[in-house]
Amino acid sequence: MSHFRNGCAALIMAIVAVTNLSAADLSSQITAIRNVSREGQGNEAAAAAVRTLSNAASSDLVQILSGFENASPLAANYLRNAVETVADRHLAAGKSLPAKPLEGFVQERSNDPRARRLAFEILSKVDATAADRLIPKMLLDPSPEFRRDAVQRLIVEAESLGKDSTDQAKQIYRQALSGATDSDLVKKISASLRKLGDEVDLVSHFGFLTDWRIVGPFDNHDFVGFDIAYAPEKELDFAAKLKAKEGEVTWGEITTADEFGIVDIAKSLAPHKGAVMYLATSYESAADRHVEFRFGTPNAWKLWVNGQFLFGRDEYHRGMAIDQYRVPAKLNAGKNVILLKLCQNEQTDDWAQRYQIQIRVCDPSGVAVLPVKSKSESTTRLDNQSTPQSERLTASAEGASE
- Whether 149 is in a domain gets the answer yes
According to the model, what pLDDT value does residue 352 have? Answer: 87
Last residue of a domain, one of 176, 200, 224: 200
- Whether 397 is in a domain gets the answer no
Q: Are 188 and 251 in the same domain?
A: no
Domain that holds residue 378: 206-388
Q: Are 182 and 222 in the same domain?
A: no
- What does the pLDDT look like over 127-165, one tens digit per residue? 999 999 999 999 999 999 999 999 999 999 999 999 899
- Whether 139 is in a domain gets the answer no
- Whether 135 is in a domain gets the answer no
According to the model, what pLDDT value does residue 314 have? Answer: 95
Q: Are 323 and 382 in the same domain?
A: yes
Task: Give the confidence band of 22 by pLDDT, cuts at 50, 70, 90.
Answer: confident
DSSP for 310-359, please give it. EEEE---SS---TT-EEEEEEEPSEEEEEEEEEEE----SGGG---EEEE
- Say how many domains are in the chain: 3
- Whether 398 is in a domain gets the answer no
User: 171 near 245, Cβ under 8 Å?
Assistant: no
How far apart are the C-alpha atoms of 359 and 361, rounded to whole Å? Answer: 7
Q: Are 211 and 325 in the same domain?
A: yes
- Whether 150 is in a domain gets the answer yes
- What does the pLDDT look like over 367-378, one tens digit per residue? 999 999 754 444
Q: Are 347 and 247 in the same domain?
A: yes
- Whether 213 is in a domain gets the answer yes
Q: Are 343 and 248 in the same domain?
A: yes
Last residue of a domain, one of 200, 225, 241: 200
Taking the whole predicted model, whether its pTM rises above 0.85 is answered as no
Q: Are 116 and 50 in the same domain?
A: yes
